[in-house]
Amino acid sequence: MSSFVGHKQRVGRRQLAFVRRVLGLFRSALREIFDESAYERFLERQRKAPSQAAYAEFLREGQAAQERRARCC
């Protein structure tokens, strides 16, 4: 009986971990699509804390790429 319960718990934990992983990936995808990750990388690279000035600099740096980013028909 206890080994059955243990098995069920292990399966439950595995499923929970899987759901967490999928949700984590989904969140990462959204953060990449919405350039939040790019801002974080910028802060890390420039060793800056998040601020209005830092974000304005990030926007200036990424402007060329963003301006040329095509959207499909």
Partner 1 sequence: MEKMWMAMAWLVVAGIGALSVATVALHRGEPINALWLVAAAVCCYSIGYRFYSKFLATKVLVLNAQRATPAERLENGRDFVRTNKWVVFGHHFAAIAGPGPLVGPVLAAQFGYLPGTLWILVGAVLGGCVQDFVTLGFSVRRDGKSMTEMAREEIGRVGGLVAYLAVLSILVVLLGVCALIVVNALKDSPWGMFTIAMTIPIALLMGLYLRRLRPGKVLETSLLGFVLVMLAIWGGQWVSQTPGVGHYFTLSASTLALLIMAYGFAASALPVWLLLAPRDYLSTFVKLGTMAMLAIGILALRPTLHMPALTRFIDGTGPVFAGKVFPFAFITIACGAVSGFHALIASGTTPKMIARETEARLIGYGAMLCESMVAVMAMIAACVLQPGVYFAINSPAGIVGAAPEAATAAISSWGFTVTPTDMQGLAQAVGEHTLFNRTGGAPAFAVGMANIFSNALGGRELMAIWYHFAIMFEALFILTVLDAGTRVARFMLQDALGHAWKPLGRTSWYPSILGTSALIVAAWGYFLWQGVKDPLGGINSLWPLFGIANQLLATVALCVATTILVKMGKAMYAWVTLGPLVWLTLVTFTAAYHKVFDPNPRIGFLSHAQQLLAGTATNSTARQVLNDRLDAGVTVVLIALVGVILVESVLEWSRVLSGKKEARVKESPFVATRFAVEEQA
Interface contacts to partner 1, rule CB under 8 A? 25, 28-36, 38-42, 44-45, 50-52, 54-56, 58-59, 61-73
Q: Is 55 helix (H, G, I), strand (E, B) or coil?
A: helix
User: Among residues 2 and 69, whose Cβ is nearest to partner 1?
Assistant: 69
Q: Are 37 and 28 in contact (CB under 8 A)?
A: yes
Rounded to the nearest 5 degrees, what angle is found at the Cα of 39, between the Cα atoms of 50 and 57? 70
User: Among residues 3 and 67, whose Cβ is nearest to partner 1?
Assistant: 67
Beta carbon of residue 57, minimum distance to partner 1 (angstroms, whole number): 10
